[in-house]
Amino acid sequence: MANDDTHTVSYEQLPLRELMSRLAERDDLVEALRKHEVDAVVGDKSIAVVRLLEVERELQARTVELQNQNEELRKTRETLERQAGELERVNTELEAFTYSISHDLRNPLNHILLFVELLKSKSLPKLDEREQQYVGHLDTASKRLQQLLASTLKLFRISKASVGDSRVDLSELARRISEEMTAADPQRARRFEIAPGLAARGDEYLLQQLLQNLLANADKYSADSSPAIIEVGAEEPRDGYRVFYVRDNGIGFDPQKAEELFVPFVRLNQKKNADGTGIGLSVVQRIVHRHHGEVWAEGRPEEGATFYFRLPVPSDD
Amino acid sequence: MSTSETNVPVDSATHFQLRLFVAGDEVNSVQARRNLRKVCDELIPGRYTIEEIDVLRDPSAALKERILVTPSLIIKTDDSDSRLLVFGNLNDTTRLKDILNGKR
């Protein structure tokens, strides 16, 4: 039985015009959506603003930009890699050249040293005072040359040495070196303050050389301080590395020349002890670099110096 | 679609009530606004009123008219109960012009 509200219509009675309009509207809506001509969708509870076309364009622009940047980066990296390769090659050649020069000079130099010795022991009394002075200069200069060659070869060896990778107790090494230094010069007013438990990861022999050089350097330039205080310590470990330092209360240095400290055969304080060839800190720098670390110095004239070096730490620390 | 059979000539005095639903100053809404005025001034100068509804400010008006997306244009004439809907930024004015010319 038909409900009162229901009524039946025949196809002929359908409001065709209305129907066509609705269909046209529907097509229009689909078309608007397809062409991204819509910018908001209204829902019962919220309105979603859509920016499809804009977003697409923006994305495309950014993609192109990124591609350009990538291309530039790639070119830059290639250039840098090429330059690094060239630098390394030049460096290797230079080192080989230095090594062969130093090596080849040793033979003739040994002859000079030998004949200077002979001259001194056999002929010195026969020479007059001025001639004796000449021999003295010859002696000093040839020994100096011998030292320089030895230093150059030493630096070269550090560059080529294989680097061990074990746990190294820097506190213990520093303590032993300080005892040796104290034993060598017990009269000197000098105090070592070595923090306990400083461990690094690396080559024990090279790190011992490093500390030896830094402590000797600190000792040398705090000779006038009484007492000289030489401190060995470290900052907190970070990201597998730790910054260690050797500090003294000596004559310090001009901070503007901090970089020059590490250049071989350069001395900032010329008047100080003439012994040694001025490669101590170069040795330190090479050893740190061989451990993929960094080294730098802070100081002021008459206010002491601190040498920092960053080294990897054992993984269990 | 054939236009001749459904062609009901629009009286030259017919007044159009246009309600444009937009979403703030979004690109398509701005374009729809500009395109609509241009077409109206061209085809039915002085015989239209445009009411603009920003759905971002007044969402209930959109819901009441069951507007789904913006830009949407509701076209009504004062001599008919039926309403017609046009969607999009009106860069393509073919359908709008047909309606205003009384072809739909």
Convert the pLDDT of each residue in A200-219 to its tens digit. 999 999 999 999 999 999 99
Taking Cα atoms as reference points, which of B35, B29, B61 lies closest to residue A37?
Answer: B29
Instruction: Establish whether this prediction's ipTM goes over 0.85.
Output: no
Residue B7, pLDDT score? 41
Whether A48 has its CB under 8 Å from any CB of chain B: the answer is: no
CA A98 to each of CA A85, A94, A149, A152, A283: distance values in angstroms, whole numbers, following the listed order: 20, 6, 10, 8, 16
Rounded CA gap, A276 and A267, in Å?
10
The average pLDDT across A283-305 equals: 93
**Start-to-end Cα distance in chain A:** 90
Q: Which amino acid is at A287?
A: I
Cβ–Cβ < 8 Å for A283, A154 = yes
CA A43 to each of CA B53, B68, B85, B87: distance values in angstroms, whole numbers, following the listed order: 16, 7, 18, 17
Answer whether residue A242 shows pLDDT above 80. yes
Determine which helix (DSSP H) or strand (DSSP E) holds A10, and give its type and residue range.
none
Structure tokens at A110: 């040994």
Residue A250, pLDDT score? 92
Whether A21 has its CB under 8 Å from any CB of chain B: the answer is: yes
Rounded CA gap, A70 and A65, in Å?
9
Rounded CA gap, A254 and A262, in Å?
14
The HSE-up count of residue A99 (CA atoms within 13 Å, CB side) is 13
Would the CB atoms of A42 and B28 count as touching at under 8 Å?
no
Taking Cα atoms as reference points, which of A140, A99, A100, A97 lies closest to residue A116?
Answer: A140
The average pLDDT across A264-274 equals: 64
Q: Collapse the DSSP code of B87 into the 3-class scheme (helix H, G, I; strand E, B; otherwise coil) and give the result.
A: strand
**Per CB distance under 8 Å, which residues of B are interface residues toward A?**
1, 6, 23-24, 26-29, 55-56, 59, 62-63, 67-71, 82, 84-89, 91, 95, 104
Q: Please, which contacts does A176-185 make with residues 24 or more away whose CB atoms are closer than 8 Å?
A: A177/A208, A177/A211, A177/A212, A177/A215, A178/A215, A178/A230, A181/A215, A181/A216, A181/A219
Answer whether residue B6 shows pLDDT above 50. no
CA B69, B14, B102 angle in degrees (round to 5)? 65
For A41, the closest of B63, B68, B85 (CB atoms) is B68
Rounded CA gap, A150 and A2, in Å?
118
Rounded CA gap, A286 and A297, in Å?
15
Whether A17 has its CB under 8 Å from any CB of chain B: the answer is: yes
CA distance A289 to chain B (A): 59
Determine which helix (DSSP H) or strand (DSSP E) holds A306, and give its type and residue range.
strand A305-312
Structure tokens at B38: 């241009």
Residue A276, pLDDT score? 64
Q: Collapse the DSSP code of A40 into the 3-class scheme (helix H, G, I; strand E, B; otherwise coil) and give the result.
A: strand
**What's the mean pLDDT when you consider all of chain A?**
87
Answer whether residue B5 shows pLDDT above 50. no
Would the CB atoms of A32 and B85 count as touching at under 8 Å?
no
CA A258 to each of CA A281, A287, A292, A299: distance values in angstroms, whole numbers, following the listed order: 11, 18, 20, 8
The average pLDDT across B54-72 equals: 90
Answer whether residue A13 shows pLDDT above 70. no
Rounded CA gap, B25 and B50, in Å?
17
Most confident of A9-18, A170-179, B12-21, B51-60: A170-179
Cβ–Cβ < 8 Å for B55, A47 = yes
Would the CB atoms of A38 and B95 count as touching at under 8 Å?
no
Using a cut of 0.90, tell me whether the model's pTM lies above it.
Answer: no
pLDDT tier at B51 (50, 70, 90 boundaries)?
Answer: very high
Answer whether residue A172 shows pLDDT above 70. yes
Hunting for tokens 């002890």 — which residue is that? Answer: A273
Whether A49 has its CB under 8 Å from any CB of chain B: the answer is: yes
Give the burial class of A253: count Cβ atoms within 10 A of its Cβ; 0-12 exposed, 13-18 middle, 19 or more buried: buried
Whether A56 has its CB under 8 Å from any CB of chain B: the answer is: no
Among A72-76, A189-193, B75-79, the minimum mean pLDDT is found in B75-79
Would the CB atoms of A37 and B88 count as touching at under 8 Å?
yes
Among A43-52, A301-310, B53-62, the minimum mean pLDDT is found in A43-52
Among A45-54, A218-227, A281-290, B19-28, the minimum mean pLDDT is found in A45-54
Would the CB atoms of B26 and A24 count as touching at under 8 Å?
no
Answer whether residue A132 shows pLDDT above 80. yes
